[in-house]
Amino acid sequence: MAIGPALWLGPLLLLSLWGLSAPASLLRRLGEHIQRIQESSSLGPGLGLGPGAVALPKVGWLEQPLDPFNVSDRRSFLQIVLHSLGQKCLSFSRAETVAQLKATEPQVSGVGDRQWLYQTCTEFGFYVTCEDPGCPFSQLPALPSQLDLCEQVFGLSASFVAQAVAQTNSYYGGQTPGATQVLFVNGDADPWHVLGVTQALGSSESVLLIPSASHCLDMAPERPSDSPSLRLGRQSISQHLQTWLRLAKESQVRGGV
Q: Where are the domains of the chain?
A: 93-104+111-172, 183-255
- How many CB atoms neighbour CB 153 within 10 A? 20
Average pLDDT over residues 27-37: 55
- pLDDT value of residue 17: 44
Distance between CA atoms of 205 and 29, rounded to whole angstroms? 30
CA 32 to chain centre: 13
Burial group, residue 77, by CB count within 10 angstroms (0-12, 13-18, 19+): buried
Q: Residue 257: CB partners within 8 Å, gap ≥ 6?
A: none
For residues 4 and 215, the answer to whether their CB atoms sit within 8 Å is no
Q: Which H or E element spans position 210?
A: strand 205-210
In 3D, which of 126, 127, 117 has the Cα closest to residue 151? 117
What does pTM read for this prediction? 0.63
Q: Which residue has the higher pLDDT, 191 or 139?
A: 191
Find, among 201, 208, 202, 198, the residue nearest to 234 by Cα.
208
Q: Note the pLDDT of residue 94.
A: 85
Cβ atoms 165, 195 nearer than 8 A: no
- Helix residue ranges, H only, the chain: 10-18, 24-39, 71-84, 94-102, 113-119, 143-154, 158-172, 228-255
Write down the pLDDT at residue 240: 94
97 has a pLDDT exceeding 80: yes
Task: Name the 3-class secondary structure at 183.
Answer: strand
Q: Are residues 153 and 114 in contact, defined by beta-carbon separation less than 8 angstroms?
A: yes
Lowest mean pLDDT across 39-43, 101-105, 143-147, 198-202: 39-43
Tell me which of 16 and 187 has the higher pLDDT: 187
Mean pLDDT of the chain: 75
Q: What is the mean pLDDT of residues 112-118?
A: 91
Q: Which amino acid is at 195?
A: L
In 3D, which of 158, 154, 18, 153 has the Cα closest to residue 94? Answer: 153
Asked if the model's pLDDT at residue 51 lies above 90, the reply is: no
Categorize the per-residue pLDDT at 255 as very low, low, confident or very high, splitting at 50, 70 and 90. Answer: confident
Asked whether 121 and 164 are in contact (CB, 8 A), the reply is yes
Q: What is residue 197's predicted lDDT score, i.e. its pLDDT?
A: 92
Residue 34: pLDDT band by 50, 70, 90 thresholds?
Answer: low
